[in-house]
Amino acid sequence: MAETYLSPLWISLKTVMTATAITFFLGIAVARWMARYSGKLKNLIDGLFLLPLVLPPTVVGLGLLLLLGKHGPIGQLLLHIGTTIVFSWPATVISAVVVSFPLMYMTSRGAFEQVESDIENAARTLGAGEWRVFWTVTMPLAWPGVAAGTVLAFARALGEFGATVMLAGNIHGKTATIPIAIYFAVQAGDMKQALVLVAIVLVISLALLFTMSYWKTRASLFKNIIRRRESVN
């Protein structure tokens, strides 16, 4: 009996954790690159990265299906090496990454752009290589923004429904995340199962909200430090 509730919870947690981890590093890498990039295609690339945020999730899901499906270009490639992604657990991760990426990218890019380039240059003149500059100067200074982006991405991945249901479907014990399980439970008239799952989501969401507000106070504390530093000058 408990399996009915635990399976969606377990799949959701696994999917969200994996997706957030991927989004975290991918978002930071791309944000860092775009914060520096000043080529002609900047606006176009920027728009492309943010597209999943404004498109309806079902449209994103359909796009992914066309790309990764049996007749899609990537799907064909995968078939050659004897595997398929559609209606498998990795599909839930891919959907979650695609829809949560813009939030991570947008927030951390803003945070990186706020870091004064003179401070990074100071580190370089002191002999620090790019890797050290990034981890000891840029990241600590951009951290409040990056952390906020991570929490937003986590929340978006947890709530993901449209793209996931298109690409991964509703396979119990395999691709049925909490939002999908709730939808199909209600459709099947199983209100009890739906409400228990809703309670689980509420707990996770509240925990998330607390994390957010914790980071917000940390961030504003940090901003105060910076502001005080500036007012001294």
Partner 1 sequence: MLDVKIRRKLPGFSLDISFSINQEILSILGPSGSGKTMSLQCIAGIVRPDEGYIALNGKVLFDSNKGLNLSTQMRKIGFIFHNYALFPHLTVDENVAYGISHLPRIEVTRKVSRLLDSMNISGLGKRFPWQLSSGQQQRVAIARALAPDPELLLLDEPFSALDTVIKERLEFDLAALQRSYKGNMLFVTHDLAQGYKLGSKMAIYNSGSIVQFDHKDKVITAPATSVAARLVGFKNLYEGFIAETNEKYSIVKIGDLEQNFKVITQNGVKLNINQKVIVGIRPENVRIVEHPGENTFPCTADQIVEGVSTTNFLLQINPGSIIKNYIECILLKSDAPFVANNQTCYAHLPPEHLVIITG
The answer to whether the CB of 156 falls within 8 A of the CB of 100 is yes
Q: Which is nearer to partner 1, 81 or 126 (CB)?
A: 126
* Cα 143-146-148 angle, rounded to 5 deg: 110
Give the nearest distance from C-beta 142 to partner 1 in angstroms.
11
Q: Which is nearer to partner 1, 192 or 229 (CB)?
A: 229
Q: Which is nearer to partner 1, 118 or 189 (CB)?
A: 118
Residue ranges binding partner 1 (CB under 8 A) = 116, 118-119, 121-129, 136-137, 140-141, 225-226, 228-229, 232-233
197: Cα within 13 Å, side-chain hemisphere: 29
Task: Fill in the DSSP letter of residue 137.
Answer: I
Give the nearest distance from C-beta 143 to partner 1 in angstroms.
9
Q: Which residue's structure tokens are 């991760």?
A: 93
Buried b / exposed e over 127-147, threshold 16 CB at 10 Å, is ebeeeebbeebbbebbbbbbb
Give the nearest distance from C-beta 223 to partner 1 in angstroms.
11
Q: Which is nearer to partner 1, 203 or 232 (CB)?
A: 232
Give the nearest distance from C-beta 146 to partner 1 in angstroms.
14
